[in-house]
Amino acid sequence: MKYIYWAISGIINYVLGIAFVVPSGFMYISVLYALEEVFGWVIDPTLEPNFLVGALVFTFMTSLIYFPILILTNVFLYKRLLTKKYKYYLFIIFFLGFGFVSFIYYKVHIF
């Protein structure tokens, strides 16, 4: 039964790593707009003016949905696995990073 929870945890964290592209993309856009608004730098001339508020709202909304799902599912699975905390953290970081990098690789090199 313990191996089933390891497999479920790996799959869920891989999918959540892929889903992390959305909040991280909105965070990146928010930082670009904030730098442009605060310092007056022209980082990207194609950025729409006055879009900072919308980007921050989208970042906040996606983070409110994404991070509780990530935290609560991993706490639930950690309690079922009865393993050492550092092993489970390494496992989570590996699969989240693998999902994120594989999605970015897919988008950059395939399309």
Of the chain, the percentage scoring pLDDT greater than 90 comes to 34
**pLDDT tens by residue, 52-93:** 777 788 888 888 998 999 999 999 999 988 889 999 999 999
Distance of CA 111 to the CA centre of its chain: 21
Residue 1: predicted pLDDT: 65
Q: What is the mean pLDDT of the chain?
A: 85
10 Å Cβ neighbour count for 87?
Answer: 10
State pTM to two decimals: 0.78
